[in-house]
Chain A
Amino acid sequence: MEVPWSPHVQTARPPDPADYSGLELDVELVRAWLVEFLRHEIRRRRGFERVVVGLSGGVDSSLTAALCVQALGPEAVFGFSLPYRTSSAASREHALELAERFRIETRTIDITGAVDGYLSSFEPQASGHRVGNVAARQRMIILFDQAFKLGALPAGTGNKSERLLGYYTWHADDSPPINPLGDLFKSQVWALARHVEIPAAIVEKPATADLIQGQTDEGDLGVSYREADLILHHLLSGRSVEKLIEAGFEAEKVALVTGRLERTHWKRHLPTVAMLSSTAIGEWYLRPVDY
């Protein structure tokens, strides 16, 4: 076994915009690691035998579902395709292709009626951004309700890149109680997805929240995930913005990533509670989530 000097060995390389090796993973190790994580968190810790996953047709939910199948077996995984009227046909097809490949029983529930029941009647002028948020929260309402009905646990699908960039709907995509991909950058999700043989059409297509036709994550963000991941990797490893620019990273992209990161710390926390006592929960009264 090759012996790295420390667990932080991957951060020891100097920043270089052409060097992506710091993001490389032993994908088989990570696969086995996450499968064990899912078994523990779903079965052993919480006593559930089933899990529900919203299948968007994208790589994150596809990988999450595939890992759940490996952890619990296909009969324990329930997929939900939850299209809105603007969702692309390709997304639905990819969700169903994934379900077929991994033998996941999948139900389609069109959320248009639920979403438009509110928006068309009361907020017809809502922006695309607002429609996206309402749709994301509606999907969570359905996933949690279906989980309750099935005696299952909802699994989250958010990755580290979107969490760090704040590119998700708060208390929607981030609300399931377990999340296997939350410490993997998007480019690492792609690598792992290829390893577990997620259909190429899903892995290779541009990532999209699928709220508006032709919309892509990278178009919204103004930087590719691959570039953003490398910048985030170095920032989280303690490299300064100045150091990255000095090493040849594009100043504009570093600023864009740093700006999103610094504006969204709140989004990675629970709501801010006014502390009034020396027994405030989470401040003084500290007990771990699995205690």
Chain B
Amino acid sequence: MAIDIAIAQFKPAKGDLDATLDAFDRVLTGALRRTPRPRIVVFPETALTGYFLEGGVREQAIEASALFERLSARHADLGADSVDIAIGFYELHAGRVYNSAMYAKLGADGEVVHVHRKVFLPTYGVFQEERFVEAGSGIRAFDTAYGRVAVLICEEVFHSISGVLAALDGAQLALVLSASPARGATPGTGAPDNVARWDALGSSLASEHGIFVAVSQLVGFEGGKGFAGGSAAYNPRGRRLVGGPLWEEALLVTSLDLDDVTQARTEEPLFADLERSWTRLLVNSPGAGVRRPEAES
């Protein structure tokens, strides 16, 4: 099945939820006017508030159900067609705050399909996530009308185990929501070094497991830290299908044919090798922590 997917390279109005939701509406409306109509629109990590909030996460965090209700009401007001969305936000859940991503269906039979809570929280250099939010505990895929999908958030993609777990749970499409502060300006590259690294990561995630990957990047500046953009989508062979500009908002639309997942995995059955060896590896690899090696005599 082929569908169009839209990746929103998005700039929130920091700390101003109503203004951000107005911008969200504009992006969604623009996406849904396209022909063919995108079936999934992906927004970046912390798209609802901006990324660097420090202690402000407590004031800005919102329950997934409340966010869904607000987005559903606005979607109804737009009179738009049904659409699936993935959006990053600081989530209030069971008295705790998480850096989360919600995958939801807006429109007829609307529902929250899945909430992913970021597992790997960067806390070094400019990042302070562990100080302000709690870590999620798992990575899984989930069924949608358009195939089996997994959502990953930013640093999770730097750990190859995240892609492994998503693929082993059946993901055919990984939606990656990111807020990556720009740094490094190596001569001759034309983009901040982190954008180049993200390009390598997205391509590698796709080709290792034979899945589609869509990366939505936050854009704009927060207190001197620039989010450069560089959103992109990759086919199951790791080829970039579409790439976003630097420094500005953009809507990237590309067509995904999930039959390509089968085709790519047939041509290069890396995923089948992983699937076949995974359990054996866990049991027999001391580093996995499932079985400790016998003490050496």
Enumerate chain A interface residues (CB-CB to B < 8 A): 1-10, 24-30, 32-33, 36-37, 40-41, 45, 285-291
- Top 8 nearest A-B pairs (CB, nearest first) are A40-B221, A286-B54, A7-B184, A7-B193, A286-B55, A36-B247, A289-B223, A26-B185
- Collect the chain B residues with CB atoms within 8 Å of residue A4's CB: 184, 186, 189, 193, 196-197
- Collect the chain A residues with CB atoms within 8 Å of residue B188's CB: 2, 26
Q: Is B257 at the interface (CB under 8 A from chain A)? A: no
Known A-B contacts A36-B226, A40-B220; A3 and B199 likewise in contact (beta carbons under 8 Å): yes
A10, A28, A36, A286: the one contacting B184 at CB < 8 Å is A10
A25, A40, A285, A289: the one contacting B185 at CB < 8 Å is A25
Indicate if the CB atoms of B189 and A29 lie closer than 8 Å. Answer: yes
Q: Which residues from 190 to 237 on chain B have a C-beta closer than 8 Å to any C-beta of chain A?
A: 190-194, 196-197, 199-200, 220-224, 226, 228
Q: Which residues from 236 to 273 on chain B have a C-beta closer than 8 Å to any C-beta of chain A?
A: 246-247
- Collect the chain B residues with CB atoms within 8 Å of residue A24's CB: 187
Indicate if the CB atoms of A26 and B196 lie closer than 8 Å. Answer: no
Known A-B contacts A45-B221, A286-B55; A33 and B226 likewise in contact (beta carbons under 8 Å): yes
Q: Is B15 at the interface (CB under 8 A from chain A)? A: yes
Q: Is B52 at the interface (CB under 8 A from chain A)? A: yes
Report how far A30 CA is from B189 CA in the complex, Å: 11
- Collect the chain B residues with CB atoms within 8 Å of residue A30's CB: 185
**A25 shortest CB reach to chain B, Å:** 5
- Collect the chain A residues with CB atoms within 8 Å of residue B222's CB: 288, 290
Report how far A41 CA is from B224 CA in the complex, Å: 8
Report how far A291 CA is from B14 CA in the complex, Å: 7
14 A-B pairs (CB sep. < 8 Å)? A2-B196, A5-B197, A7-B197, A9-B184, A24-B187, A26-B190, A33-B185, A40-B220, A41-B221, A41-B224, A286-B55, A288-B222, A290-B14, A291-B54
Report how far A6 CA is from B55 CA in the complex, Å: 29
Enumerate chain B interface residues (CB-CB to A < 8 A): 14-15, 50, 52-56, 182-194, 196-197, 199-200, 220-224, 226, 228, 246-247
Indicate if the CB atoms of A33 and B196 lie closer than 8 Å. Answer: no
Closest to B196 in A: A3
**A261 shortest CB reach to chain B, Å:** 19
- Collect the chain A residues with CB atoms within 8 Å of residue B187's CB: 24-27
**A158 shortest CB reach to chain B, Å:** 14
- Collect the chain B residues with CB atoms within 8 Å of residue A25's CB: 185, 187
- Collect the chain A residues with CB atoms within 8 Å of residue B15's CB: 291
- Collect the chain B residues with CB atoms within 8 Å of residue A41's CB: 221, 224
Known A-B contacts A2-B189, A4-B186, A10-B184; A32 and B247 likewise in contact (beta carbons under 8 Å): yes
Report how far A291 CA is from B190 CA in the complex, Å: 31
Indicate if the CB atoms of A288 and B56 lie closer than 8 Å. Answer: yes
Indicate if the CB atoms of B54 and A6 lie closer than 8 Å. Answer: no
Indicate if the CB atoms of B197 and A6 lie closer than 8 Å. Answer: yes
**A23 shortest CB reach to chain B, Å:** 10
Indicate if the CB atoms of B185 and A1 lie closer than 8 Å. Answer: no
Report how far A286 CA is from B185 CA in the complex, Å: 30
Indicate if the CB atoms of A1 and B191 lie closer than 8 Å. Answer: yes
Indicate if the CB atoms of B183 and A288 lie closer than 8 Å. Answer: no
- Collect the chain B residues with CB atoms within 8 Å of residue A40's CB: 220-221, 226
- Collect the chain A residues with CB atoms within 8 Å of residue B247's CB: 32-33, 36
Closest to B222 in A: A290
Report how far A7 CA is from B126 CA in the complex, Å: 13
- Collect the chain A residues with CB atoms within 8 Å of residue B199's CB: 1, 3
Report how far A6 CA is from B222 CA in the complex, Å: 22
**B52 shortest CB reach to chain A, Å:** 5
- Collect the chain A residues with CB atoms within 8 Å of residue B193's CB: 4, 6-7, 9-10
Indicate if the CB atoms of B226 and A3 lie closer than 8 Å. Answer: no
- Collect the chain A residues with CB atoms within 8 Å of residue B226's CB: 33, 36-37, 40
Other 17 A-B pairs with CB < 8 A, given A9-B186, A26-B187, A27-B187: A1-B196, A2-B188, A2-B189, A10-B184, A26-B186, A26-B189, A28-B190, A29-B190, A33-B185, A37-B226, A40-B226, A45-B221, A287-B53, A287-B54, A287-B56, A290-B14, A291-B53
